[in-house]
Chain A
Amino acid sequence: MTGININKNSVILAVLVVLLLLLPMAVTKPYYLHVIIICLLWAYLASSWNIIGGFAGQLSLGHGIYTAIGAYITVILFNTFGLSPWLGLFVGGGAAILLSLVIGYPTFGLRGAYYALATVAISEGIVVLLNNTGSIGRFTVGGAEGLIVKMVGNSAVAFQFNSKIPYYYIVLIMVFLIIFVAKWLKESKLGYYLVALREDEDAAAAMGINVRRNKLIAGAISAFFTALGGVFYAMLIRYLEPNAIAGAGMSTQMVFLAIVGGSGTVLGPVIGGILLALISEIIRFYLGGQLMGLHLFIYGMIVLLMIIYQPRGIIELFEKIGQRFSRKHNDEGGRSGAEDPSGA
C-alpha cells in the first residue's frame, strides 16, 4: 500500500469518528438516540458472538446465558451491596468466562449440529433456573417476576443517567472496542488457529493445533464481551426478565445479525447488527400499531431476501462497492479471486 492510500484511510476513519462523536448534537430527540443505542448494542452483541461463532465456526445458539450472567451478577451486586456496576461488570464478565469454560470443556468435543443442540439445551435450562429462583440467600434474583435495578437517579457511578447521551458514548466505545478486539484476533496467531479448525478440525489437529484449548480461549473471550453487552442492556432497560435477557430470542438474534452481516469478518456483524436493528425499528415505527404482526412479517421477508441473494453477508456487498470505488479512483487492476464481483 502506498502512503497516499493510508492517508485516505486515516481521513475516512477520522471523519467517521468525528461524525459518530458529534451524532448526539444532531440527534436531539431521545427516542432516536435510544434507537441508535439499541442498534449499536446489537452490533456489539453480534460481534461478540462472532468471535466464537464466526471466527471459530462454533454455532452457539445459547449466547443469551452470557448476557444474562453478566447482567444478573452486576445488578444483584449493585442491588445488594451497592457495588458500582462499573466494578460489577468485571465480576459478571469473569463469571461468564468461568461459565464458558465449564460449558465449553465437555461440549467443544461435539461437532456441528450436536454442539449447537447442546448450547440450546444449556441455555433453555438456565432460563428455567432463572425463572424459578426467587432468591439465593440474601440475594434477590427475582424469579420469573423479573429483577428491577434499584433506581438512584442521575448517577455516573451507578451507571444510571437520565439523558441518553452517556449511554450512546458508552455503547459507541464498546463497539469500537469489539471491532478492535476482532481485528486484533483475526490477525493474531489465535485467529489463524481458529480459521484452521473452523475449516477442517481434523486437519488442524493433525497440524499440531490444540483444538479444544483454542476453542476454549475463543469461547471465553466471546463470553466475556457478550456479558458486558448484558450489563449494558441491564443498565439501559433497568429491568431483567429471564426470557428477555437469556431466552431464545436474545440468543438467536445475535446469531442472526452476525450471519446476515457476514460472520467470520471483522465488520460484518457490526453492519448486520446496525442495519437489521434499524430496519426492525423503522418498520415498527411506521407499521407498529396497525395491521397485527405486519411489521414482523416484512422484517422476516427482508431477512429472507438478504439470505437468498446475499448469503455471504451484507459485508460482501459493501466490499464490492468499495472495490469498484477504489478501482475507479486508483485504476488498480489487482483483485483477488475471492473478492471477484463476477464470481457472485
Chain B
Amino acid sequence: MKNKGKRFLGLLLTVVMLLTLVVGCGGQKSGTTTKEVKMGTILPLSGSAAPLGKIGQQARDMAIEEINEAGGIKSLDGAKIKMVYADSKGDPAVGVSEAERLITQEEVCLITGCYQSGVAMPSTEVAERYQIPYFVDVPSEDQITERGFKYIFRLAEKTSWRNLAQTEFVTEMSKKYNTPVKTVGLIYENTAWGQGAVRAWEKYLPEAGLKIIMKEPYPTNSSDLTPVVLKAKQLNPDIIMMVSYVSDAALLTKTFAEHQVKPLAFIGTSGGFADPTYYNLAGDASEYFFDISTWEPDVNRPSSKEVNERFKAKYGYGMNAEAVKAYAGMYVIADALERAGSTEPEKIREAFAATDINEGATQMYASQTKFDETGQMINAPLVICQYQKVNGKMERVTVWPEKEARVGSKIVWPYPGVAK
C-alpha cells in the first residue's frame, strides 16, 4: 500500500523528534557547586489544590531565606539551600514522574512535600527505591509511615492521632467538669477521610470506656442534613463528633441550632470546621463548637506569633497549620544537614533518624521533634480550639492542652445551647 510508507515516515519523524529532545536535554548538566545544597519539593502548584500548594511554597521560601541569611549550613562551609519546586498537579502519576525527575535529573539530595496523601504514597516509594530521603511534612494518611520504608520521615501527625486526641480531650473534660460522658454519636462524610476517622474512633472511644450509639454517614455536599440531625436529637448522645467539609459543616451547625440539639459538646475534626469560610456560613450557631488542629494563630508556643507576623508582612495573609509544618520542616531539614555534614543521602538519612530538636524555630510547631523507627514524628502536637466570641467577634480560641491554650482563655463546657 502506498499509504504505508507515509505512515511509517510519520512515525519515523516522531521518533526523530523524541531523540532530539533526549539528546538536547541530556546536554545540560546540572552543575553542583560545593556552596549549594540542592533539594526538591513536590507540591500541587496547579489544579484544585493550587492555593494550598502555594502557601506551602511560600512558607518554605521564607524559612530558606532565613536559614541562608543566617549563614547557610555551617558544617558544609556555609552552603546555601537551593530548592527545586515540582508541580504534582495533585495527580499521583505526575507525582511519581516528578520524583523521578528530581532524583535522577536534578540530582537532589532529598525531597520534601507533597500536600496530598494520594501523591505521597507512590512518590515516597520512588524515593525509597532510589534511597533518597523523603521528608513528608503535611500528608497524614496513617499508612505512609507504616510500610517499613527506611528513607521516609514524617513531621505531620497520623490522621488517627486526631481521633485519639479528641478522645483524650473528652475524657479529661468529663472529669474536670464532673459531667459523666458515656455515649458518643459520629456524623461523617462518607469518603476516605470520614471512613478513616470512623475506624480510628471505633478503636479509641471504646478503649476510653465510651460507647458509640450512633454512626451516621452522609454524602459530601448534601443539600439537607435534617434527617441526620433529627436522628441525633432522638438518640441524644453525650458527645457529637463530626468529619465534614466546609459546606456540610456549616449546614450541620445551623441545623443543630435550629432543632435545639444539646449534647455536652460538638467536636469537629479540622477540615471544614477549620476553614476560614466556616464561620461566615454558619454564623453565630458555631459558637462553642470545638475543633482539633495542629496549630492555631493564637496558640501559646514560643516564636509562633512572631513567625506568623513575619509571614503576614511578607505575603499579606496569615499562616495555616500546613504552612507552619512546611516552615518548621525546613528547620528540621537544616538541622539534619548540619549534623550530617554531607549531602550524601545515606548520611542525611542517618541524621534524620537521630533528630532530637528541643529549641529554635521548630518550637512554633512542637516542643520536641524526634522520629521513631518508622520515621514517624513522635508526639506530633494537637490542640483543641473552641469558637468563642472575643470582644463581640467570633474567634477560634485555643483551649487545650492547658499549657498551649491562649493566655486568659476559658473552656465553655458543657455546651450551653444556642444563644437566643
Residue ranges of A at the interface with B (Cβ–Cβ < 8 Å) = 1, 5, 8-9, 12-13, 15-16, 19-20, 23, 26-27, 29-32, 34-36, 38-39, 131-132, 134, 143-146, 148, 151, 162, 233, 236-239, 241, 244, 249, 266-267, 270-271, 274-275, 278, 281-282, 284-285, 288-289, 292-293, 295-296, 315, 318-319, 321-323, 325-326, 334
Say whether A285 contacts B101, CB under 8 Å. yes
Say whether B7 contacts A146, CB under 8 Å. no
Say whether B104 contacts A30, CB under 8 Å. yes
Set of chain A residues within 8 Å of B6, measured between Cβ atoms:
318-319, 322-323, 325-326
Say if the beta carbon of B338 comes within 8 Å of chain A. no
**A285-B6 Cα distance, complex, nearest whole Å:** 32
Given contacts A27-B22, A144-B195, A146-B121, contact A284 B15 (CB under 8 A): no
Say whether A289 contacts B45, CB under 8 Å. yes
Set of chain B residues within 8 Å of A15, measured between Cβ atoms:
12
Say if the beta carbon of B13 comes within 8 Å of chain A. yes
A158 to chain B, nearest CB (A): 14
Say if the beta carbon of B87 comes within 8 Å of chain A. yes
Set of chain A residues within 8 Å of B118, measured between Cβ atoms:
145-146, 239, 241, 244
Say if the beta carbon of B14 comes within 8 Å of chain A. yes
Say whether B10 contacts A288, CB under 8 Å. no
**A13-B11 Cα distance, complex, nearest whole Å:** 9
**A148-B332 Cα distance, complex, nearest whole Å:** 29
Given contacts A131-B191, A323-B6, contact A244 B50 (CB under 8 A): no
Set of chain B residues within 8 Å of A270, measured between Cβ atoms:
11
**A323-B10 Cα distance, complex, nearest whole Å:** 11
B25 to chain A, nearest CB (A): 7
**A92-B21 Cα distance, complex, nearest whole Å:** 35
Say if the beta carbon of B177 comes within 8 Å of chain A. no
Given contacts A31-B105, A267-B10, A274-B14, contact A292 B5 (CB under 8 A): no
Contact of B190 among A29, A132, A282 (CB under 8 A): A132
A100 to chain B, nearest CB (A): 24
Tell me the interface secondary structure of chain A in the complex: helix
Set of chain B residues within 8 Å of A239, measured between Cβ atoms:
92, 96, 118, 121-122, 125
Given contacts A237-B93, A296-B46, contact A289 B5 (CB under 8 A): no
**A274-B17 Cα distance, complex, nearest whole Å:** 10
Say whether A237 contacts B87, CB under 8 Å. no
**A319-B8 Cα distance, complex, nearest whole Å:** 10
Set of chain A residues within 8 Å of B23, measured between Cβ atoms:
26
Most buried by A among B10, B89, B103, B105: B10
Say if the beta carbon of B196 comes within 8 Å of chain A. yes
Say whether A145 contacts B143, CB under 8 Å. yes
Set of chain A residues within 8 Å of B65, measured between Cβ atoms:
none
Set of chain A residues within 8 Å of B9, measured between Cβ atoms:
12, 318, 321-322, 325
Set of chain B residues within 8 Å of A323, measured between Cβ atoms:
6
Residue of B nearest to A35 (CB): B97
Set of chain B residues within 8 Å of A295, measured between Cβ atoms:
46, 87
When A and B form their complex, which 6 residue pairs have the shortest distance between CB atoms, in order from nearest?
A144-B192, A322-B6, A289-B85, A318-B10, A239-B122, A293-B46
Say whether B8 contacts A13, CB under 8 Å. yes
**A266-B19 Cα distance, complex, nearest whole Å:** 23
Give residues of chain B (8-39) contacting chain A, Cβ–Cβ below 8 Å: 8-15, 17-19, 21-23, 25-26
Given contacts A29-B105, A31-B101, A278-B18, contact A289 B122 (CB under 8 A): no
Q: List 14 A-B contacts (CB under 8 A).
A: A1-B2, A16-B11, A16-B15, A19-B19, A38-B93, A134-B195, A143-B192, A143-B195, A145-B143, A244-B92, A266-B7, A271-B11, A288-B85, A325-B9
Residue of A nearest to B105 (CB): A31
Interface residues contributed by chain B, number (CB under 8 Å): 59
Tell me the interface secondary structure of chain B in the complex: helix
Say whether A9 contacts B5, CB under 8 Å. yes
Set of chain A residues within 8 Å of B17, measured between Cβ atoms:
275, 278
Given contacts A318-B6, A321-B9, contact A20 B85 (CB under 8 A): no
Say whether B18 contacts A274, CB under 8 Å. yes
Contact of B5 among A8, A34, A38, A162 (CB under 8 A): A8
Most buried by B among A31, A321, A323: A31
Say whether B26 contacts A32, CB under 8 Å. yes
Given contacts A9-B5, A29-B105, A31-B101, contact A144 B191 (CB under 8 A): yes
Given contacts A5-B5, A38-B97, A241-B118, contact A146 B191 (CB under 8 A): no
Set of chain B residues within 8 Å of A145, measured between Cβ atoms:
117-118, 141, 143, 192, 195-196
Contact of B129 among A162, A284, A334 (CB under 8 A): A162
Say whether B18 contacts A148, CB under 8 Å. no
Say whether A292 contacts B191, CB under 8 Å. no
Give 1 or 0 for each of B52-96: 1 = CB within 8 Å of chain A CB: 001000000000000000000000000000001111010111101
Residue of B nearest to A143 (CB): B192
Given contacts A132-B190, A144-B195, A288-B45, contact A241 B92 (CB under 8 A): yes
Set of chain A residues within 8 Å of B143, measured between Cβ atoms:
145, 148
Say if the beta carbon of B1 comes within 8 Å of chain A. yes
Residue of B nearest to A150 (CB): B147
**A73-B226 Cα distance, complex, nearest whole Å:** 39
Set of chain B residues within 8 Å of A271, measured between Cβ atoms:
10-11, 14
Set of chain A residues within 8 Å of B103, measured between Cβ atoms:
31
**A178-B349 Cα distance, complex, nearest whole Å:** 44
Say if the beta carbon of B4 comes within 8 Å of chain A. yes
